[in-house]
Amino acid sequence: MQTKANPKKPIVLITGATSGIGRASAIHLAKDGYRLILTGRRAVTLKKLTVYLESKYKADCYAIPVDVRDYSTLKNSFDKLPEEWKSIGILINNAGLAAGLDPVQEGSLNDWNQMIDTNIKGILHMTRLIAPGMIARKKGHIINIGSVAGKEVYPKGAVYCATKHAVEALTLGMRQDFVPYGVKVSSVCPGAVETEFSLVRFKGDQERADKVYDGFVPLQPEDIADVIHFIITRPAHVNIQDVLIMPTAQASATIIHRQV
C-alpha cells in the first residue's frame, strides 16, 4: 500500500507510540496521510516503527525517544523541533501503564510513583508543552486515552484506577479551559484491550498476562485506533467528547463473560 503525507492534514503527536494503541494509531493515521511525531521510551523500537511507516506508507515521521515523565528532556526536545514540525494540530496522550495488582496496604511505592508520574504527570507535561500553540492558533484537538478504570474502581487496582479517574478530571478541566479558543478535548476509554498492558502490570509474567484474555474476544489496538481516527475526522463544529468502548463480552470493569 502506497500513500503519501498530506500537508493539508494537521500534524499528529502520539505518545507511547512503540506498542499497543499508540502503535496502531500511528499505522492507522499514516495510512491516511497524516504527518506524525512519535514518542516512546524504547528508542530502537521507535526507530523501527518510523522506518516501517516511511517505507510502507510514505509517511512523514519525526521520532522523539523520550519518557513523558521527564519534563526537562521533553521540553528540550520540543524546543529543538524543526520549525516545520512545531504546529502540532492533534495531541494523542496515549502513554500510560498499570504496575502491580495489589491491595493498597501491600502496594509498592515504586509502582505507585511510576503510574502517577506516567498516567497523570505525563499528560500534564505533554499538554503544557503543546496546548499553548493550539490556543495561539485557536485550533487543535487533544485526545486523552483513559480507561474503564476511570469510570469504575475494582479490587486491588485502587491506585491505577485513581490515576485514570484523574485523567477523567483533567479531560473535563482541559475542555473547560480550552473551549474559548476552539481547541477540542476528547477522551477515549477502553475496556479490555489485548496489548502489552497486562504483561507490564505483571512485570513480564507472560502466563499470568495471557490469562487476563482467556475465554473471550478482547478489543484489539486497531479497534481503538479506528475510534480515534473517527473522532479526529469529524467536522470542525463537532467534538466527540467521551467514548467508552468495551468488548462485547465485557459488561463492566469486573464482569466479563468467559467461554469455559
CA–CA gap between residue 219 and residue 202 (Å, rounded): 19
CATH 3.40.50.2000 assigned to domain 11-245? The reply is no
Active site residue 9: no
The grid coordinates of residue 144 equal 486523552
Pick the catalytic residue from 31, 71, 156, 160: 160
Active site residue 154: no
For 162, half-sphere exposure in the C-beta direction (CA atoms, 13 angstrom radius) is 12
The grid coordinates of residue 97 equal 501503564
Q: What is the pLDDT along the chain (260 residues), one digit of tens a residue?
A: 567 788 789 999 999 999 999 999 999 999 999 999 999 999 999 999 999 999 999 999 999 999 999 999 999 999 999 999 999 999 999 999 999 999 999 999 999 999 999 999 999 999 999 999 999 999 999 999 999 999 999 999 999 999 999 999 999 999 999 999 999 999 999 999 999 888 889 888 898 988 999 999 999 999 999 999 999 999 999 999 999 999 999 999 999 999 97
Pick the catalytic residue from 164, 181, 184, 203: 164
